[in-house]
Amino acid sequence: MNWILGSLVHVLPNQDEIICWRVLLDSLNEVQLTSLYESLEPGEKSRANAFLRPIDRNRYIAAHGVLRIFGKHLLGAEVQITVNEFGKPQFLNTPIQFNLSHSGNIILLAFSLNSPVGVDVEQKRAMGDLDLIATNYFHQSEAQAINGLDEPLLSETFFSCWSKKEAVVKALGLGLSLPLNAFEVGTYPLIGECIASLGSQFPQSWTLWAFCPLEGYSAALASPSPKMKPKFLEFNYVAMQ
């Protein structure tokens, strides 16, 4: 897929729009990472310093530092971030919603106006017994679609389904209180608009988009509002200063 180089004029989403930004970790140099680190709140700095592996520390710094860049331009003031009772972060006193996810070399940040949003990215990796994991943790219909597939379609389908389900859970902001097997997403298509069916508890129409942010990754955007249009933009540190 094509990612458009974004700038400050692209920051604010329209009412029916989800803006998804891609940050490639290896595009940031040490000076830029240091600057992003200095933008963090003391608690965020402590969490960054707690990581044992430099790659994990840098990924956290990049994700949360870039979030603060966007927050400053979106809100025009010092960014205040809190979390709900299930741990989902959110801006204070604004209709702007956001979510972030990172895996491997990719960080994704999603923004919407008034409508909750969730984003998830998964680096495809070798894992044993994917069909068994699907049976134990996915909805029955999803497990049936995955079981019996051969590689590489097995991994492609599994990680696509996983990212869709995680995006839905993150949009709702319910954390682990909503089991992945308690609702159904469309296993196919692997790329494009999919269905999400959460039953009577959450009967609203959903927007659910599956996409490939980079070769070797699966990702998804979700919102409990119908007909939201995704826009995919590339983050460039220099262009956003």
What pLDDT, on the 0 to 100 scale, is given for residue 54?
95
What pLDDT, on the 0 to 100 scale, is given for residue 8?
74
Sheet holding 118-123, edge to edge: 118-123, 217-223, 207-211, 192-193
Residue 146 and residue 130: Cα distance in Å, rounded? 8
206 domain residue, yes or no: yes
Residue 228, CA distances (Å) to 14, 22, 46, 50, 231 in order: 10, 19, 36, 37, 10
Residues of the chain by 3-state class (helix, strand, coil), percent to 5 = 40, 25, 35
What pLDDT, on the 0 to 100 scale, is given for residue 184?
93
4 domain residue, yes or no: no
Give me the domain span that covers residue 222: 13-240
Residue 208, CA distances (Å) to 52, 188, 198, 241 in order: 35, 11, 12, 32
85 domain residue, yes or no: yes
Give the length of the chain. Answer: 241
41 domain residue, yes or no: yes
pLDDT in tens, 206-241: 999 999 999 999 999 999 998 899 999 999 988 777
Residue 87 and residue 176: Cα distance in Å, rounded? 10
For the chain, residues with pLDDT lower than 70 are 203
What pLDDT, on the 0 to 100 scale, is given for residue 101?
97
CATH value at residue 204: 3.90.470.20
What pLDDT, on the 0 to 100 scale, is given for residue 74?
86
Torsion sign, CA atoms 160, 166, 170, 173: positive
Domain count, the chain: 1
What pLDDT, on the 0 to 100 scale, is given for residue 12?
87
What pLDDT, on the 0 to 100 scale, is given for residue 112?
96
55 domain residue, yes or no: yes
Residue 71 and residue 65: Cα distance in Å, rounded? 10
2 domain residue, yes or no: no
209 domain residue, yes or no: yes
- DSSP state letters, 145-192: HHTTPPTTHHHHHHHHHHHHHHHHHHHHT-GGGS-GGGSEE----SSE
129 domain residue, yes or no: yes
